[in-house]
Amino acid sequence: MEILRFFTAGNVDDGKSTLIGRLLYDSKSVSTDILETLTKQSKSTGENAEIDLALLTDGLRAERAQGITIDVAYKYFTTDKRKFIIADTPGHFQYTRNMFTGASNADLAIILVDARLGITEQTHRHSIISNIVGIPHVLVCINKMDLVNYDEKVYEQIKSDYEKFAQKLQLKKISFIPTNALSGDNVVNQSENLAWYKGPTLFEFLENVEINPNEQEKSARFQVQYVIRPQTDELHDYRGYAGSVLSGRFVKGQSITILPADLTTTISKIEKNGIEVEEAKEGEPIILHVADDIDISRGTTFVPVNDGINSEKTFEAIICWMDNKSFQPGQKLILQQNSFQTKALIKEIDNKINISTFTTEESDGTLHLNDFCKVTIKTAESISFDSYENNRKTGAFILINENTNNTVAAGVIE
């Protein structure tokens, strides 16, 4: 069954958590025991509503106590058509890094706009981040329509304002839906209050939106997570390479290149769930066997012969600095791309990106929390990668402080 990964973003109090809570509640994706617990918790807050639907996504006690979402809360549900993974991201500017995390693997961005406030700086910021991480589809939910008397003119004006702003971005597709999450207008059920709107509800949109139509065209990519060598009497010569297919597909007998060694061999066997198969597709955990005795370790990348993948020690990327401590020139880092790790340095900070205006600014050589910058990175070993635009699985990475083991940045390769 197809999986749609999407995230929600917007200003504080735009109703992100309530929207997702309403979606889960009205689509009957919440179990009875959870509903009972939420009812008790909602009554304990003294709020008028019988059930505070925002609690369905606000998973941390601390954020419930403050009444805000301070981390990325993930929720899962399934319908007859699809499985869904939702990332509910925080609205505060200081949690920009959290939104970047939630957006990095999403197929769809849902950006909420308060109908009373219209397009704000946060709307710009969240849209720009969606552009940087290559989100295929952006859905703008113009929420709290009840507070503007369900006025179609307000909706059309906000829609027009967003389209003008988005012209300078490279967003691939933009859709709009007017909603009132608190009462459920246009979330799962059509609303009589919004009879002038003839499009799908949020639920209908999510069930039918096209997911990565070009995904099947992506080149085959596989990265070794574990080298399996039982060395038992029964399996004395067994040598398998376990991992998940990052993209595309591999077939038995296929000629492949082993990177970064740049050696050519063929796939002699593919195992899936302990059974030998003829092919393996994206997302499937498998064990690959190759025809030749090659030195292969964790992080080694398999690609089709003459595929054109990059394998370099120096490359350019856009990063989001995630550490509370500012960047120190010469700081020793570890770059991790899936299961591949190598020592790395930020060789140069080329420029900074103003995340509110999408303009580039001259770098002063510093990196602070939530800064977005274009940088040049140098690694100790060659990293095999595609541009993030062409393949998000091999075009993304994180940087880890070698001394503290803290993740200090996440990046996408240009």
- pLDDT tens digits, one per residue of 188-199: 889 899 999 999
Q: Among candidates 61, 37, 39, 64, which has minimal Cα distance to 49? A: 39
Q: Residue 82: which of 206, 216, 215, 214 has the closest Cα?
A: 206
**CB-count burial class (<10 Å; 0-12, 13-18, 19+) for 295:** exposed
Domains and CATH numbers, the chain: 3-213 (3.40.50.300), 216-304 (2.40.30.10), 310-413 (2.40.30.10)
Query: Above 90 in pLDDT, residue 286?
Result: yes
User: pLDDT tier at 183 (50, 70, 90 boundaries)?
Assistant: confident
In terms of pLDDT, which residue wins out, 234 or 84? 84
Alpha-carbon 77 to chain mean position:
17
At residue 356 the predicted structure's pLDDT band, cuts being 50, 70 and 90, is confident
- The answer on pLDDT for 59 being more than 60 is no
pLDDT at 198: 93
266-274 average pLDDT score:
95
pLDDT of residue 51: 62
What DSSP character marks residue 82? Answer: -
pTM of the model: 0.81
Write out the DSSP string of 128-147. Answer: HHHHHTT-SEEEEEEE-GGG
Residues composing the chain: 414
Task: Give the pair of three-digit tokens for residue 122.
Answer: 């946060």
Looking at the chain, the whole-number percentage of residues with pLDDT higher than 70 is 83
CB atoms within 10 A of CB 319: 26
Distance CA 97, CA 102 (A): 9
216-221 mean pLDDT: 79
**Token pair of 276 as six digits:** 């030998």
